[in-house]
Each structure stands twice: as C-alpha cells, then as structure tokens.
Structure 1
Amino acid sequence: MRSLASLFAIVLLATSVSAFVSIPLTRFQRLGAYLKGLPDADRARASFLKNRASTGATTVPATNLVYVQYTTSVGISSPPTYYNLVVDTGSSNTFCGTGITIPTGETVNVTYGLGYISGIEYLDQVTLAPNLVIINQSIGDALSYADFEGVDGIIGVGPVILTQGTLSPDTNATILTVTNNAVSQGLIYDQVLGIYFAPANNSSDTNGEITYGSIDSSLYEGELTYTPVTKTFPSAYYWGINITSATYGNKIVFLKSTAGIVDTGTTQVLLADDFFDVYRSSIPGATLDKSTGLITIPPSSIPYMQPLNFTIGDTIFSMDVAAQLIPTDQNEAWGGVAGKQYGVVANLGTLSGQGLDFIIGQKFMERYYVVFDADNNCVGFAFMNNTFSKYME
C-alpha cells in the first residue's frame, strides 16, 4: 500500500531443496499492547467468513508478525520491489500498493472481517522466489484500506471462488490466485501449499516456511493425515474440514462430526460458544476476561490442565497444556495484566450448528504441519518436532 511503510525486515531467502524451495516467515518488533482486541478481531473475522460464503515446488521463508500472523516477502513488478504480505488461506485476492503496470479496467473491493481494501486491479509480475516468478498476475492496488497496520498487503491462497464478487464491473469474474497461475505457467506442477509455523522465541521471528507446489517432508514427522474439504456450508467455501470429535481430557466438547475451517489468518483456536463453555468450565476458576477477550486461567489450575484433543480423520491431534497457554511475557502485547495467565482458545461468537463451528488458527498450526491440496480437495496434518514443546513463562 502506498502509505504503509513496511515495518518488517525484508526476507529474500530462496533455498532449493530437490524440486522445491522453502521461504522463511518472520516476526517484527512492536511495543505496548499491540495485540489488545485480537480476540474480538478473530471473532469478527469468523463472523465475516461465515456470512460471506452464502512440479516442482518452492519453499519460502515466513515471518511471524508480532505473535498474530505470518508474512512473506513478495516481489512486485520488474525489477521487483519487495513487500511483506500476510499469508492468508481465508481469502484469495492478492493486493499491494503498486499501480505501475497494466490496469485491467476493473476496480476491486475486499472485506476482511475488521478490515477492507478498495482500489484498482492490475496485472503485474510477482516474484515469490528467484525460481518462482509469475507473470500477468492480477493484483489489487489498495487506494484505500483499513486495519492493515504494519503490513504491505495480503497474498491470498484460499480457494479461488472467494475472489468472485470482488471485482467491478465484472462482478461474476474470479481472479486466478498465485497458485493457479504458478501451475498454469508451469512453475509448479500441483496446486498444493505446505505450511510450517512454530512458536516464536521473540516478537520478530523468521521461523516459518511456505512450500508452493508440494510438501517438504523435512518439516514434519511421520505420516500426513488427510481429510476432505467439507461439503457443509459456509465452511465449504474455504479450507473447511470436519472434525469428528473433540475432548478436553475426559470431558466431551463435542462427539458428532462438525464443520469449521483451517485459517492462517486467524490467530487463535476458536470454538462455537457452547463448545467453548464446556472447555472453559472444565478448567477450575477459568473465566472470560472482558478487557482482553481472552480466557484467564488461575495459576493453581495450570498443573491440572488436560490436553485439548481434536479427532481429524483417524488421528487425534492434541494441543497440550503449553499449546493452550500464552507465555506470560506476551501479556502486555495482548493487552493483559502482568501476573495473569491467558489462553489461546476462545469463543467463536456464535453457537454450534451453523456450518462453521470452529476455526483452526495459527496457534494450532504452530504445532502441526498443514497441507492445503486444491487438486485433491483436501487438507493434511502431520506432527512436527515442536508439536509438544515446553511452555515458556
């Protein structure tokens, strides 16, 4: 965006690994309560997502943006100027303030829960890595925007159907995503995206990787468990899946298969309000803090906390105690109070049974490798070396 100065260190790491390249993802530095209001933002995004729906490979670095979301460095035009774009599987438009090459004659308007962009659609060259240069990629030039502080735009890697209705005057048109074009131009063979996130050690941590066109088996352990994209709407418009059951220790959160989405653009793990109430009430003394929107957990209850288990396919994926807690040195960033213990699991803002009953966000993906496979219409999950890691106070 023209008026948004990039606050990230530009990362241009392109590492060839066999037939693919990985690109790291980085965090950037902020002070103060910059995460305050994030739970409300996640719920607003969840509400928006629900309502909106009526050959090679290349791995690139990803940077965690102050514990909230991941960005990757993307070159626009030729020679490329590099921008830090949010990696978003919950949307499919790519936008950044460029406006330097071929206008398409269309305007573009996209709403993102709490934010929006409005501008002109252009065709330009996009460099995801030195060996992954896409020509004639449709990009939005954001002339006006809201709630995108600290980033230069978004690279949308959700299903292409999400771009329908974002252009004008051709409201029925869809916009080919970077993955679509990379395949059509022979740069990668498969419409597959591998995501590796990890818990951050500091507020600006290049600790993630995105693989375009395949998966990177060095980033996960064991076998991948694949599950088909759900047929339940509105989750079916996104990278939606069914979770067969969920438990907290021996407490049943839900037992029947229910639909939700897997979304890199959501920070927390959100559960339908009735599911969340089961979770919260199972932790003695846990309350929902109105100031932060986060669950607060008494220190005396932490030694007795249990894993939060999700059954996907035939595999149980657990968030252990460490995965459920926000390190206390992040309290200020989340708008919290020193000495309190907050958690990453939150309420969705609506009851279950509406077709989008959970969102598996970044905090889950920091524990499990995730594969988004558009060719086979499925999502895969695998354990990583940091699936079970020690909680850092």
Structure 2
Amino acid sequence: MQSFSALLSAVILATSASAFISMPLTKLAPPAGSYLAGLPDADRARAAFLKSFAASGPTTVPASNLAYVQYTTSVGVGSPPTYYNLVVDTGSSNTFVGTGTKYVQTSTSIFTGEDVNVTYGSGYFSGLEYFDQVTLAPGFVITNQSIGDALSYADFEGVDGIVGVGPVILTEGTLSPDTDELIPTVMNNALSQGLIQEEILGVSFAPATSYNDTNGALTYGGIDSSLYIGEITYTPVTATYPAGYYWGINVTDATYGSAGAETTVIPTSTAGIVDTGTTLVLLADNFFDSYMKAIPGAKLDESTGLMTVPASSVSEIQPLNFTVGGTVFSMDAAAQLIPTDQNTAWGLSANKQYGVVSYLGTNSGEGLDFIIGQKFMENFYAVFDTDSNRVGFAYT
C-alpha cells in the first residue's frame, strides 16, 4: 500500500508558483523543426472537422475519486483514441499523458518540434509536445490539442497524466525552444472550436465510499443544476499575486465554531486558490495554528504532516466556516476528518483520527495564504468561469 506522502505526491499539490517554471533537465533530442511544424495541415484538418459541428450546450462526464486523494477522468487521445486516466487539475494547465499508459501515436499525431517540461509542487514531467485529437466525451472531440508525451517523470503513481484546466498563463515557459509560447488548454480549444458556448467548468466531487469511487462529475461548457441546491455564490478571481495566476479568490474571513462561540482562523480578507489537484485544505501556518488550538488536544503529527485529534475531542468538533462572496460555506465535523476506515489506504496509523485541514508551509501575507482543495470541494459544487473571471460555490 502506498504511504500518504506517496499518494499526496500523486495528487501533485499542483499549487506551487513554480508550476510554470522549467526544471533544468537533460535536453531531449527530438527531430529538427519548430513549434509550428505541420501546422498548415493541422489547420486544414481542423477546418474540415469544424464544418460538422455547431456550438453545443454543456457536456457532463464522470470523474472518479481514486485512492481517496485525487479525482481523475477518462480522456481519449488519437484516432482511434487510446483512453488515459488523467488527474483533473485546476492548478495547472498543461495536458499530458504517458506516466502510466504510454502515448500511442496515430494518424492525428503531429510533432510540434518542441520539448515540454513542467514542475509541480511535487513531481515533474518532461517529454515532447504534439498536436493530437482529444476526446473528452462521446461526440466531444477537440482537434489539434497540444499535449505532452511524458518521457521522464516522477510522482504520478496510478495515473496516466493530467488534464490541465487552470488559466492558460500557467503554460508559459513550459515549451522549449519557444519558451514564450502559451499552450491553449482543452477548455480554450473547446470554445474556439465551437464545442461549448461558454468557457466554464463545473466540478462536482463527493466523499468517497470505496478506493476507486466514480462519484464525481465534470461539466464542460457550463453548470449542471442537478448537482447543487440553492444559488451559486460567485466571487472574482483575485488580483493578488501570486494567487491571481491561478484560480485564486479572496476569502473574507474564516472562523471555527458556532455563532457566539467562534474562534477566528482567518481574521481579514486574504487571497488563496481553489485547486482540484490538492487533496487537503491548507491554511497559512499562523491560520492553521489558530484552528488547531481551538480543538482540545489536537496536535500535528510530524511524520505525516497531518493534524491528529484525540478520541475525546472528535464528537466535539465544530464547523469550520469560510466566508466567500458574502456567503458562509461550512465544513462540518465529518468534512474535517479522514474516516478512520480509510487510514490504511492513506498509509496512516489505524488507531488515530486525522484531519484534512493542514498547514501551508508559510505564514500569511505572501499572496497565497490558503488552498481550498478536494476535501472542501467534496462538500460544495464548484464553478470555474473563465468568461467572467470568477469562481463559484454552491451547497450540494
């Protein structure tokens, strides 16, 4: 069984500001050419393909909660397509395959002449960049999508790569020699090719009941009203650096406890990011310290980096409340804890109670003071709206 640290690496924690900085590795030796090699033929193929499509409405596809710590979706590449199990990552924007099932070239594969190299909060991949046909759902086929073929990589156990749905700016500096080139994401291309009318991604996660639980959904091109209740609260993408490079938002404040007996966790409006590629909810170290001290007997387990809660305090855990866009989104006790029957799968001690809220590694005031990860989104519907430059949440 993988340890928690290995599983967490597989989730990438794709939140580092270095996500768009090249990692110095031995340069690959691809065939000679430029990034635009083969583009005229690719453009003609695209033109022919577009004639058969009109802009369509939102398309919802399933997503699977793998090993309790990451969400994946099945993506086809090539013609006929080979299907890959890819991590759904709003914290990065490159799409690549090959870390498990190897990239299979077909008649639609066109080498761009570029190396590609991306480092993440944990792990990296390096390889060659291709244009290829990408199938996100039956009848939802993107032509000439730029994707990476991972020839060298680390910390992607159990998955075949990533489908990157973060802001396109995160692809800057990932190609070589065209280091200034931006790579359109699958969402960018789906819009430009008329497959969707709005560049919006709806994300529905839920607590897993098994090691590989297909209990999530992704909606390309809009939202699925059957997956949430009430209204969606939207908040603009923050202008604060570096959170604003990602799906960054401002949280007005955060408290622990019920009305009249709250402990302040985040005292004033501060910027952080919303990231499907991060498992936990991470708080700036001083914010996390306030949270942990509010739970009697809670302490940090240095070997795992997770908070432990004594049995006597488990039943007394109070809501953790985040105010976003004027609406309070509360994580109840269950949402703050790792079910003990999952401890073995996480590589944790079987007889301890662990929490899903942990520390960021830096104090507040550095422009990225929290990460709202998968464990938060398992309780709320999330909307990533490029058209209006905003993020939305709703209760499920």
**1:146 correspondence with 2:154:** yes
Q: Are the counterparts in 1 of residues 9 and 123 from structure 2 also a CA contact under 8 Å?
A: no
Q: Distance in 2 between matches of 1:362 and 1:137?
A: 27
Q: Distance in 2 between matches of 1:225 and 1:351?
A: 28
Q: Distance in 2 between matches of 1:119 and 1:344?
A: 34
Unpaired runs of at least 5, structure 1: 1-31, 385-393
**1:374 correspondence with 2:381:** no
Q: Kindly provide the amino acid, as one letter, of the partner of residue 263 in structure 2.
A: K
Q: Are the counterparts in 1 of residues 12 and 122 from structure 2 also a CA contact under 8 Å?
A: no
**1:122 correspondence with 2:90:** no
1:197 to 185, 202, 205: 205
Q: Kindly provide the amino acid, as one letter, of the partner of residue 180 in structure 2.
A: N
Q: 1:75-114: per-residue Cα shift (whole Å, max 9, x none)?
A: 1001111110110000000001326220011110011111
Q: C-alpha displacement at 1:226, in angstroms? A: 0.1
| Counterpart secondary structure, 2:346 | coil
**1:248 correspondence with 2:260:** no
| Counterpart secondary structure, 1:190 | coil
**C-alpha spacing 1:144/1:326, structure 2 compared with 1 (3 Å):** same
Q: Kindly provide the amino acid, as one letter, of the partner of residue 377 in structure 1.
A: N
2:52 aligned residue: none
2:38 aligned residue: none
Q: Distance in 2 between matches of 1:77 and 1:238?
A: 29
Q: C-alpha displacement at 1:45, in angstroms? A: 4.7
1:281 to 285, 293, 298: 293
**C-alpha spacing 1:308/1:379, structure 2 compared with 1 (3 Å):** same
Aligned-residue sequence identity (percent) comes to 69
1:286-301 aligned at under 5 Å gives the runs 286-301=298-313
1:231-242 aligned at under 5 Å gives the runs 231-242=239-250
Q: C-alpha displacement at 1:131, in angstroms? A: 2.0
Q: Kindly provide the amino acid, as one letter, of the partner of residue 71 in structure 1.
A: T
Q: Are the counterparts in 2 of residues 35 and 334 from structure 1 also a CA contact under 8 Å?
A: yes
Q: Distance in 1 between matches of 2:14 and 2:62?
A: 25
**1:261 correspondence with 2:230:** no
Q: Distance in 1 between matches of 2:7 and 2:292?
A: 19
Q: C-alpha displacement at 1:255, in angstroms? A: 2.1
**C-alpha spacing 1:300/1:43, structure 2 compared with 1 (3 Å):** farther
Q: How many residues align?
A: 351
1:89-168 aligned at under 5 Å gives the runs 89-97=90-98, 98=103, 100=105, 101-168=109-176
| Counterpart secondary structure, 1:332 | helix
Q: Kindly provide the amino acid, as one letter, of the partner of residue 330 in structure 1.
A: Q
Q: 1:316-346: per-residue Cα shift (whole Å, max 9, x none)?
A: 0000000000000111122221221110000
2:353 aligned residue: 341
TM-score, normalized by length of structure 1?
Answer: 0.87
1:356 to 368, 371, 381: 368
Q: Are the counterparts in 2 of residues 228 and 378 from structure 1 also a CA contact under 8 Å?
A: yes
1:35 aligned residue: 4
| Counterpart secondary structure, 1:304 | coil
**C-alpha spacing 1:50/1:229, structure 2 compared with 1 (3 Å):** farther
Q: Distance in 2 between matches of 1:95 and 1:268?
A: 24
1:171-210 aligned at under 5 Å gives the runs 171-210=179-218
Q: 1:17-73: per-residue Cα shift (whole Å, max 9, x none)?
A: xxxxxxxxxxxxxxx344245568889654x237858x4111100011101111100
Q: Are the counterparts in 2 of residues 39 and 268 from structure 1 also a CA contact under 8 Å?
A: no
Unpaired runs of at least 5, structure 2: 22-55
2:39 aligned residue: none
Q: Kindly provide the amino acid, as one letter, of the partner of residue 296 in structure 1.
A: T
Q: C-alpha displacement at 1:269, in angstroms? A: 0.2
Q: Are the counterparts in 2 of residues 269 and 346 from structure 1 also a CA contact under 8 Å?
A: yes
Q: Are the counterparts in 1 of residues 309 and 353 from structure 2 also a CA contact under 8 Å?
A: yes
1:63 aligned residue: 64
| Counterpart secondary structure, 1:133 | strand
Q: Distance in 1 between matches of 2:134 and 2:19?
A: 31
Q: CA RMSD in A?
A: 1.6
Q: 1:341-371: per-residue Cα shift (whole Å, max 9, x none)?
A: 1100000000000000000000000000000
**C-alpha spacing 1:102/1:42, structure 2 compared with 1 (3 Å):** closer
Q: Distance in 2 between matches of 1:183 and 1:52?
A: 23
Moved more, 36-45 or 214-223: 36-45
1:8 aligned residue: none
Q: Distance in 1 between matches of 2:154 and 2:9?
A: 16
| Counterpart secondary structure, 1:232 | coil
Q: Distance in 1 between matches of 2:151 and 2:207?
A: 34
Q: Are the counterparts in 1 of residues 74 and 86 from structure 2 also a CA contact under 8 Å?
A: yes
Q: 1:105-157: per-residue Cα shift (whole Å, max 9, x none)?
A: 11100111111111110000000011210001001011111111111110000
Moved more, 200-209 or 97-106: 97-106
